[in-house]
């Protein structure tokens, strides 16, 4: 029955009259009710969206503050703003009224105290048009007066840009059930007879669930598409879980969703994903509320949760602390829950896991030392492991892979830990296992409070080309960690936006051509035979010496235009030839070798060698080129010394010009670094919170340049350093630019901002 209804909905969408092509592409719906202090910031973030035509349909839901005056000013100066008014009827009714006046081909909803990232709408509509998708969605960034962050669930759910033909291919997307962060095709909305429930909170959650199930094509984007304000005064609707009214409204939303599942014969996989979100996340917003101490609130919550289906089936799958608290709720053990809650048993920072032989026990570390903590054996499958892929770079020995693989809260006492990088064939069979080194001195990569780890979580493995070739044409990489007798295995995840390994090119070495692929499916390396390759290069007195391996008698520039004999695995490109290339600024000459047919083919390898105003480097396909690029500065190292950061920089392809100035630049201003005997030093203490790009000035050059990460820096695990309450991280963007990020961290979980959703 469900499939028939879906077909009918789609047919109706195709039969509806097309919307005028000349009209706006996106209708942005903004309900407003007494949000004058945030309204201008919201409207500006929408009206400055680049590369997309929008109309802004604002519905004033009976505001009594300065909101109507602000809206009138925008409508008078920007014809894209259409203002509607109605007496106060609530968020659902306001959105329904606004949709009726919307003329765009797509709908996007934003609350009037929130904002949009730059170009968010253009990215979303581009994905919708490319895939002909009914819905495009992405993570929501949270922000308050202190900081901005993407909740972990959002970055893990939307790890990379992906297209799904239907929700059945990724039911977990139901975790992102918010109207915000969704671009919805207008004709699809109409065909689905979509409308928000009126007169209640959480009016959108059953509707969004229904739309995701019905959608013909869903695109998930990795970068945030919405910025959701966490009000410092706790006055927003999403910050009311301590009230009985909020709990009752949430229960009605859950009931409406379950009724829809029954009426629509929703597949079990989708029901399971929705229930997992409810039991793993939503219920705990109420269990963690201070109001849970009130017997009336407790009784209401218990009635709501025990009326949800399949609780006992989900308990073994949940994290131990959450399963324990739900059992206490189910069994009406109110006083016991309050006692453990007061002792910190459910606090994230207090979670501890003890490995004994092949068993794992949950035993939180209580704040009160005079009471024995609860202890219970947990299923290994229910443990929440963390895998972070932090570095990947080529070295002469092969591929260096590094990161962290850990069980948050693991008690290391008496347990031996070891990591391995495993190479598998496409069928999943392990063909090679490479021991990894453990770096116990590595700084924590999390915020030091809510992401619990331990020094031995950090690993670095050197995978030789022969191990990759053993898998055949495609090698799949995964990490295995032994914790005593227990083995945990996980695929390496795709990298994030700030991820140096995204710049990893192909390489040729030891008789193989190797091309890494880092995407949502994991980390793979394509492998093919290579008869000759560049191993190294170095400046010498009469030119540039290139060291090669394999079967090769001569190499050349271009299509054999200038040839150089190879003797004992070495060839020298004379200085006169280097000078000729240097004079042709912006040009490049590929290194080539003869093939069996008498022609010339690319000579591949892995090399990065500045030589005066030239650079011998490897391009994306592993081809080695001699180029005269624009002058730039490369970041080679960063070391933290108390409150200072010591940065290593080198000027490349700059004709010997020196770096004369280095500074960090952000929207809030600049921070100058000072030159020292061994590089550049930056004072970190007392600097403003925020993110900074690294810039440099070269002698004899008018314009400054952004600093790029050199391969020597990419070989390091990203550094983290705390100066007081401020955390500094050194990040590398996919384009290679270096970014220093400074964030004031909360003093502990008790003081951390609530990160609901």
What single DSSP character describes residue 737? B
The per-residue pLDDT for 561 is 80
Share the mean pLDDT of the chain.
87
Segment 717-734 shows an average pLDDT of 83
Segment 531-537 shows an average pLDDT of 94
The per-residue pLDDT for 431 is 97
Evaluated on CA atoms 387, 391, 392, 397, the torsion sign reads negative
- Res 21 pLDDT > 50: no
Q: Considering only residues 232 and 752, tell me which one the structure prediction assigns the higher pLDDT.
A: 232
User: 745, 677, 686, 679: which is closest to 713 by C-alpha?
Assistant: 679
The per-residue pLDDT for 735 is 83
238's torsion region: left (phi>0), alpha (psi -120 to 50) or beta? alpha
- Res 20 pLDDT > 50: no
Segment 492-506 shows an average pLDDT of 75
Residues 534/606, Cβ–Cβ less than 8 Å: yes
Report residue 337: phi and psi, to 5°.
Answer: -60, -45
Q: Considering only residues 442 and 226, tell me which one the structure prediction assigns the higher pLDDT.
A: 226
The lowest-confidence range among 40-49, 420-429, 722-731 is 722-731
- Res 11 pLDDT > 70: no
The per-residue pLDDT for 586 is 61
Pick the CATH number of 386-528 from 2.60.40, 2.60.120, 2.40.50, 2.30.30: 2.60.40
Q: What's the whole-model pTM score?
A: 0.80
Q: Is 86 exposed, middle or buried (0-12, 13-18, 19+ CB in 10 A)?
A: middle
| Strand intervals (E) in 450-602 | 458-463, 474-483, 486-491, 507-509, 512-519, 522-529, 532-540, 543-550, 554-557, 562-565, 570-574, 588-594, 600-602
Helix (H) and strand (E) counts in the chain: 18, 47
Question: What DSSP letter does each residue of 381-396 carry, written as one string?
Answer: GG---EEEEEEEEEET
The per-residue pLDDT for 369 is 66
Tell me the CA distances in angstroms from 702 to 631, 696, 699, one per residue in order.
11, 11, 8
Q: Where in the chain is the domain with CATH 2.60.40?
A: 386-528, 632-744
- Res 751 pLDDT > 50: no
Q: In whole angstroms, what is the distance from residue 185 CA to residue 183 CA?
A: 7
Residue 253 three-state SS? helix
Q: In whole angstroms, what is the distance from residue 208 CA to residue 196 CA?
A: 9
- Res 450 pLDDT > 70: no
Evaluated on CA atoms 308, 314, 318, 321, the torsion sign reads positive
Determine which helix (DSSP H) or strand (DSSP E) holds 123, and give its type and residue range: helix 120-131
Pick the CATH number of 2-234 from 3.40.50.1260, 3.90.550.10, 3.60.20.10, 3.30.70.20: 3.90.550.10
The per-residue pLDDT for 232 is 67
Q: Where in the chain is the domain with CATH 3.90.550.10?
A: 2-234
Segment 309-337 shows an average pLDDT of 95
The per-residue pLDDT for 441 is 64
Determine which helix (DSSP H) or strand (DSSP E) holds 108, and give its type and residue range: strand 106-109
The per-residue pLDDT for 719 is 75
The lowest-confidence range among 92-101, 378-387, 709-718, 740-749 is 740-749
Q: How far is residue 617 CA from its own chain's centroid?
A: 29
The per-residue pLDDT for 420 is 97
Determine which helix (DSSP H) or strand (DSSP E) holds 646, and give its type and residue range: strand 644-652
The per-residue pLDDT for 126 is 96
Residues 479/405, Cβ–Cβ less than 8 Å: yes
Domain 632-744 has CATH 3.30.1380: no
- CB contact set of 265 (below 8 Å; sequence gap of 6+): 1, 2
Q: In whole angstroms, what is the distance from residue 714 CA to residue 705 CA?
A: 20
The per-residue pLDDT for 667 is 80
Q: Is 254 exposed, middle or buried (0-12, 13-18, 19+ CB in 10 A)?
A: buried
The pLDDT tens digits of the residues spanning 600-615 come to 999 999 999 888 788 8
- Res 446 pLDDT > 60: no
Segment 292-321 shows an average pLDDT of 94
Question: What DSSP letter does each residue of 363-387 carry, written as one string?
Answer: ----S-TTSPPP-EEE-GGG---EE
Segment 617-631 shows an average pLDDT of 89
Q: What is the CB neighbour count within 10 angstroms for residue 585?
A: 13
The pLDDT tens digits of the residues spanning 148-171 come to 788 888 888 998 899 999 999 999
The lowest-confidence range among 139-143, 230-234, 236-240, 492-496 is 236-240
The lowest-confidence range among 29-33, 201-205, 615-619 is 201-205
Q: Considering only residues 677 and 508, tell me which one the structure prediction assigns the higher pLDDT.
A: 508
The pLDDT tens digits of the residues spanning 551-599 come to 999 999 988 889 999 999 999 999 988 888 887 766 789 999 998 888 9
């Amino acid at each position: 029955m469900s499939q028939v209804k879906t077909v009918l909905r789609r047919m109706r969408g195709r039969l509806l009259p097309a919307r005028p092509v000349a009209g706006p592409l996106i209708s942005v719906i903004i309900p407003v009710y007494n949000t004058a202090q945030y309204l201008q910031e919201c409207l500006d973030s929408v009206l400055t969206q680049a590369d997309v035509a929008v109309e802004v349909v604002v519905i004033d839901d009976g505001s009594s503050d300065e909101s109507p005056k602000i809206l009138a000013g925008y409508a008078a100066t920007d014809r894209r703003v259409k203002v509607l008014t109605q007496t106060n009827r609530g968020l659902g009714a306001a959105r329904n009224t606004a949709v009726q006046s919307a003329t765009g081909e797509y709908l996007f909803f934003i609350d009037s105290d929130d904002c949009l990232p730059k170009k968010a709408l253009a990215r979303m509509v581009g994905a919708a048009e490319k895939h002909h998708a009914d819905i495009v969605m992405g993570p929501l960034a949270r922000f308050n007066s202190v900081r901005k962050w993407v909740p972990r669930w959002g970055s893990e759910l939307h790890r990379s840009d992906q297209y799904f033909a239907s929700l059945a291919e990724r039911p977990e997307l139901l975790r992102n059930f918010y109207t915000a962060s969704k671009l919805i095709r207008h004709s699809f909305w109409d065909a689905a007879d979509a409308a928000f429930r009126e007169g209640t909170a959480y009016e959108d959650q059953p509707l969004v669930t229904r739309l995701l199930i019905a959608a013909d094509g869903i695109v998930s984007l990795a970068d945030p598409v919405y910025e959701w304000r966490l009000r410092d005064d706790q006055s927003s609707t999403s910050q009311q879980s301590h009230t009985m009214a909020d709990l009752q409204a949430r229960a009605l939303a859950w009931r409406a969703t379950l009724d829809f599942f029954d009426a629509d014969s929703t597949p079990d996989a989708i029901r399971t994903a929705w229930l997992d979100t409810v039991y793993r996340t939503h219920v705990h917003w109420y269990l963690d509320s201070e109001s849970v101490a009130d017997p009336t609130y407790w009784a209401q919550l218990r009635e709501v949760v025990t009326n949800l289906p399949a609780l006992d089936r989900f308990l073994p799958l949940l994290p131990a602390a959450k399963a324990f608290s739900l059992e206490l709720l189910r069994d009406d053990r109110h006083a016991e829950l309050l006692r453990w809650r007061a002792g910190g048993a459910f606090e994230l920072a207090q979670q501890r896991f003890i490995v004994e032989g092949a068993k794992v026990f949950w035993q939180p570390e209580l704040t009160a030392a005079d009471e024995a903590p609860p202890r219970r054996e947990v299923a290994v499958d229910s443990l929440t492991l963390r895998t972070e892929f932090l570095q990947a770079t080529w070295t002469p020995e092969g591929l260096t892979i590094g990161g962290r693989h850990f069980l948050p809260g693991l008690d290391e006492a008496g347990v031996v830990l070891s990591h391995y990088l495993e190479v598998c064939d496409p069928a999943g069979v392990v063909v090679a296992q490479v021991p990894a080194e453990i770096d116990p001195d590595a700084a924590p990569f999390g915020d030091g409070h809510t992401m619990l780890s331990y020094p031995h979580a950090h690993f670095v493995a050197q995978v030789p080309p022969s191990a990759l070739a053993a898998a055949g044409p495609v090698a799949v990489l995964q990490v295995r960690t032994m914790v005593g007798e227990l083995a945990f295995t996980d695929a390496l995840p795709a990298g994030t936006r700030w991820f140096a390994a995204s710049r990893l090119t192909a390489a040729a070495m030891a008789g193989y051509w190797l091309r890494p692929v880092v995407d949502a499916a994991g980390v793979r390396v394509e492998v093919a035979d290579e008869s000759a390759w560049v191993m190294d290069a170095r400046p010498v007195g009469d030119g540039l010496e290139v060291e090669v391996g394999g079967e090769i008698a001569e190499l050349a520039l271009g299509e054999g235009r200038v040839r150089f004999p190879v003797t004992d695995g070495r060839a020298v490109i004379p200085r006169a030839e280097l000078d000729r290339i240097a004079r042709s600024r912006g040009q490049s000459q590929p290194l080539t070798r003869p093939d069996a047919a008498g022609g010339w083919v690319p000579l591949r390898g892995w090399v990065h060698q500045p030589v005066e105003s030239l650079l011998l480097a490897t391009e994306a396909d592993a081809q080695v080129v001699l180029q005269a690029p624009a002058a730039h500065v490369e970041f080679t190292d960063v070391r933290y010394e108390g409150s200072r950061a010591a940065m290593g920089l080198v000027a490349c392809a700059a004709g010997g010009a020196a770096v004369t100035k280095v500074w960090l630049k952000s929207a809030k201003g600049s921070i100058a670094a000072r030159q020292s005997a061994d590089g550049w030093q930056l004072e970190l203490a007392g600097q403003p919170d925020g993110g900074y790009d690294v810039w440099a000035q070269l002698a004899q050059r008018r314009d400054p340049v952004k600093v790029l990460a050199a391969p020597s820096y990419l070989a390091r695990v990203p550094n983290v350093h705390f100066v007081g309450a401020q955390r500094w991280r050194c990040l590398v963007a996919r384009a290679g630019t270096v970014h220093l990020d400074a964030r004031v961290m909360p003093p502990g979980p008790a003081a951390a901002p609530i990160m609901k959703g």
